[in-house]
Amino acid sequence: MAGTDESPNTWFRTETLKVMGESEFLMPVKVTIDEKECTGCGICYNDECPDVFMEGDDGNSNIKQMYQKGSKFVGEVPDSLKGCVKNAEGSCAASAIKVD
């Protein structure tokens, strides 16, 4: 029984260290929404990247609060979401999303 109790804890600690080790080397990805260009079509927050984008009060796209950097139109996301925001950038018909 003791071996069973230790295995999940050991696995959890190993995975936590792995994630912590990887995140030390990853840079955040800057995302901006041009509020004047956004048409509120929703493709970014409904289809391509709902983990980062959300519908704002005016119907246009905003960056979720947890990723905002001083504005609902400017944010930084972890490298693990880079593919998601790049898909949104490429799918935005108004070219309102920029990923650096």
Q: Is the pTM of this model over 0.85?
A: no
Determine the topology of domain 27-99 in CATH: Alpha-Beta Plaits (3.30.70)
3-state secondary structure of 54: strand
Beta bridge partners of 62: 54
Q: What is the pLDDT of residues 40-95, one digit of tens each?
A: 999 999 999 999 999 999 999 999 999 999 999 999 999 999 999 999 999 999 99
Domain boundaries, the chain: 27-99
